[in-house]
Amino acid sequence: MHKPYYNEEEQYAKSEKNEDLQLEKIKQKYSDQKIKVFRNEANFSDEHFLEIWDELTKKEQEEIDNYLQKKGEHNESIK
C-alpha cells in the first residue's frame, strides 16, 4: 500500500540519494569534457593535452569540494 507521506528515516534516505545524484552530475560533467578532449587529442601537443586534462581534474575536484562543503554546512544547519 502506498503511503501518502515519508517517515523521518525515509525522508533522510531520499535526501541522501538526491545529494548522491548531485555528485554524480558533477562527475559526469567533467567525464564528458575529458572524453571530448581525449577524442580530440590529435589536435593538441602532449604537453597541452596534459595541461587541459590536469585543469579539468582540478576544476572537478574544486567543484566536488565546494559541493561537499555546502552540504556539510547544510547538514550543520539542520541539527
Q: What is the DSSP string of 61-77?
A: HHHHHHHHHHHHHHHHH
**Residue 20 pLDDT grade (very low, low, confident, very high; cuts 50, 70, 90):** confident
The predicted-structure confidence for 34-54, as pLDDT tens digits, reads as follows 999 999 999 999 999 999 999
Cell numbers for 56 = 579539468
Q: DSSP for 21-51?
A: HHHHHHHHHHHHHHHHHHHTGGGS-HHHHHH
Structural domain boundaries, residue 28: 24-78
Inside any domain, residue 61:
yes
Determine, yes or no, domain membership for 47: yes
Q: Is residue 14 part of a domain?
A: no
Residue 15 in domain: no
Q: Is residue 7 part of a domain?
A: no
| Rg of the chain on CA atoms, in Å | 19
Q: Residue 67: inside a domain, yes or no? A: yes
pTM greater than 0.75: no
Give a yes or no: residue 3 inside a domain.
no
pLDDT of residue 46: 95
Instruction: Tell whether 13 is covered by a domain.
Output: no
Total of domains in the chain: 1
Task: Name the DSSP letter for residue 4.
Answer: S
